[in-house]
Amino acid sequence: MTPRKSYVVPLAGRGSLVLGERTLVMGIINVTPDSFADGGLRFDADRAVADGLQMIADGADILDVGGESTRPGADPLPEDEELRRVLPVIERLAREAQIPISVDTYKATVARQALDRGAAMVNDISGLAYEPALADAVAASGAGLVLMHNRGTSRDMYREASYQDVAGEILLELETAMARAAARGIRREQIIVDPGLGFAKQADHSWTVLAELDRLAALDRPILIGPSRKSFLKAAIGDRPAAEREWATAAATAAGILGGAHIVRVHGVREMVDVARAADRVRARHAWMRPY
């Protein structure tokens, strides 16, 4: 376990995120009919907003709203349908919530309109590889930007899951994504990196990333992880449906925090807030924090 550096990440119209003093919990709101994790429970906008407000009551620090399923094998969603799904939810949450709202999209138009309606961050699963113009919307707004490691598309990502040194290759490919961002005018301090657990990675790759997460500290940017209910957890607990992977999610979340994650992106906010606070207590009592 290594020290976790502190950062201040600017947000669009919502101040900034202070990262490092404690782990922040990002609650996932999938406004989709085919979410692998919740079966489409929040496809209705009213339900999505109500659940988002409940996540805040349960301790969420950020809400991440997405309208397109990016699970392996998923088909792309037309832009107009993604806008129809996410904009009403983002607009209402931005008005009613006192925490930052993130939009989970790789599309430039969706990001731009979401930011115009109150989103403060953009979470891009492609690391600016799918639509480089997304960077222009982020640069213009000053929003925080999560650059996630990925290869290929949702349809074919597992064909790209070949690594000699998975953590080292992720580090290099995230450096490339950061260079793409800088070339389009995004400031370094706006960037958060995500190793993309489960994306273009076999189960063993994701477990190795968690075990070697501290290597990403070389990027000198805050780290977000998203292990919540993902299929790689089945390698440890057996073939269980997503709803029965919460205990495994808790273990992976704790491991990620001890490895240096600044933000954890989860479905079960109330439970993972407890995990984060306990893991933070372990970090606080580690040898480098104690006087001699």
HSE-CB for 216 with a 13 A CA cutoff = 32
- List phi, psi (to 5°) of 223: -115, 135
> What are residue 101's DSSP bridge partners?
63
Contacts of 54 (CB under 8 A, 6+ apart): none
Q: Which long-range contacts (CB under 8 A, 24 or more apart) does 45-54 make?
A: 45/85, 45/88, 45/89, 45/92, 48/89, 49/89, 49/92, 49/93, 49/96, 52/27, 52/89, 52/93, 52/97, 53/93, 53/96, 53/97
Using alpha carbons, list the distances in angstroms from residue 116 to 15, 92, 122, 142, 206. Answer: 16, 13, 12, 12, 35
Annotation marks residue 5 as catalytic: no
Residue located via tokens 């996540």: 55
**List 92, 265, 285, 290, catalytic entry:** 265
Which pairing describes strands 62-66 and 101-104: parallel, antiparallel, or unpaired? Answer: parallel
**List 92, 230, 245, 290, catalytic entry:** 230
Using alpha carbons, list the distances in angstroms from residue 158 to 43, 55, 147. Answer: 27, 32, 19
HSE-CB for 286 with a 13 A CA cutoff = 15
Catalytic residue numbers, as ranges: 230, 265
